[in-house]
């Protein structure tokens, strides 16, 4: 009945109209399926990871550039440090060469000094032994103010007396001052002894046996005595000739006279 009503209201549905209605239904279902597919794809796309944008790419490139710059800076600093170390080492080497040379020279000088000290030590030992040997034969010698004195027990002329002193490694006495003169007068007990002064070479030019000139002496003076007074005949001197208690001192006498003599040896010649 309803179909009758429908047919009455709208007329009878033809075959063409049915076909159109079926096509429209299909289109609607396809539309619905299309919408569902779109939503699925959209949902699927939302689950995919986000791709980098342009600004983020710039940041990545900037970070890489910073790292590269930092590495380059480190390399440059390391190169600068190496160059500086090489420069310092070179300068130190150049400054060290003179020091090494000086050290070598000082070492050589030290060795030479050690050799000299060794030689001096040997020489001193030799001189010490010689001194001991010489002192062993100085039993009859008198020591006074850095010198040894020997009084002879026999008499000879001036030349022979000096030769005897020279054989003993000494010479006739040289009297330098009043103290030594008093010492001679004491050990000789105011008797005649040859001393080492004469004017044999040049008249009135009195010299000691070491070649030094007599500048002041202790010649005997007093009354009619005024030594030296012998002229060309008396060219040698003795320490004392007893004439009176008031006249003491040297006298010039003939060199071929015979008297005792005094030898003198300086202690410096023994060291």
Predicted confidence band of residue 151 (pLDDT cuts 50, 70, 90): very high
Both 77 and 155 in one domain: the answer is no
Both 119 and 232 in one domain: the answer is no
Span 235-269, pLDDT tens digits: 999 988 776 656 778 999 999 999 999 999 988 76
Taking the C-alpha atoms of residue 204 and residue 185, their distance in angstroms, rounded to an integer, is 24
Both 116 and 181 in one domain: the answer is no
pLDDT of 86 above 80: yes
Both 188 and 264 in one domain: the answer is yes
Both 197 and 162 in one domain: the answer is yes
Strand intervals (E) in 136-240: 141-144, 147-151, 171-172, 193-198, 207-208, 221-222, 225-226, 236-238
Taking the C-alpha atoms of residue 67 and residue 61, their distance in angstroms, rounded to an integer, is 10
Both 75 and 98 in one domain: the answer is yes
Both 150 and 129 in one domain: the answer is no
Give the rounded percent of residues in the chain with a pLDDT score beyond 70: 70
Predicted confidence band of residue 16 (pLDDT cuts 50, 70, 90): low
Residue 53 resides in a domain: no
Taking the C-alpha atoms of residue 161 and residue 196, their distance in angstroms, rounded to an integer, is 10
Residue 258 resides in a domain: yes
Both 37 and 108 in one domain: the answer is no
Residue 52 resides in a domain: no
Q: State mean pLDDT over 106-111.
A: 84
Both 155 and 107 in one domain: the answer is no
240: how many CB neighbours lie within 10 A of its CB?
22
Both 89 and 199 in one domain: the answer is no
Strand intervals (E) in 109-204: 141-144, 147-151, 171-172, 193-198
Residue 201 resides in a domain: yes
- Last residue of one domain, picked from the residues 79, 109, 136: 136
What is the domain range of residue 247? Answer: 142-270
Q: State mean pLDDT over 2-29.
A: 53
Parallel, antiparallel or unpaired: strands 225-226 and 221-222: antiparallel
Count the domains in the chain.
3
CATH number, position 180: 3.10.100.10
Taking the C-alpha atoms of residue 271 and residue 147, their distance in angstroms, rounded to an integer, is 12
Both 151 and 264 in one domain: the answer is yes
Chain mean pLDDT for the chain: 78
pLDDT of 42 above 50: no
Both 243 and 153 in one domain: the answer is yes
């Amino acid at each position: 009945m309803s179909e009758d009503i429908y047919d009455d209201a709208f007329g009878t549905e033809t075959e063409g109209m049915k076909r159109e209605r079926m096509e429209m239904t299909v289109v609607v279902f396809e539309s619905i399926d299309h919408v569902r597919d779109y939503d699925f794809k959209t949902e699927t796309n939302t689950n995919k990871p986000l791709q980098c944008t342009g600004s983020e790419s710039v940041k990545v490139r900037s970070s890489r550039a910073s790292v590269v710059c930092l590495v380059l800076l480190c390399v440059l600093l390391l190169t600068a440090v190496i160059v500086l170390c090489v420069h310092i080492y070179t300068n130190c080497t150049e400054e060290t060469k003179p020091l090494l040379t000086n050290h070598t020279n000082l070492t050589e000088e030290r060795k030479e000094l050690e050799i000299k000290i060794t030689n001096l030590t040997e020489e001193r030992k030799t001189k010490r032994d010689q001194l001991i040997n010489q002192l062993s034969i100085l039993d009859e010698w008198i020591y006074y103010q850095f010198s040894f004195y020997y009084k002879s027990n026999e008499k000879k002329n001036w030349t022979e007396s000096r030769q005897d002193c020279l054989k003993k490694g000494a010479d006739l006495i040289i009297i330098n001052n009043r103290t030594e003169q008093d010492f001679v007068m004491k050990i000789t007990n105011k008797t005649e002894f040859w001393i080492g002064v004469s004017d044999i070479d040049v008249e009135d030019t009195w010299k000691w046996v070491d070649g030094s000139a007599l500048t002041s002496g202790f010649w005997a003076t007093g009354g009619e005595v005024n030594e030296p007074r012998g002229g060309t005949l008396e060219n040698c001197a003795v320490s004392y000739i007893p004439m009176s208690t008031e006249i003491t001192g040297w006298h010039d006498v003939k060199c071929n006279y015979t008297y005792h003599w005094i030898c003198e040896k300086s202690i410096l010649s023994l060291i």
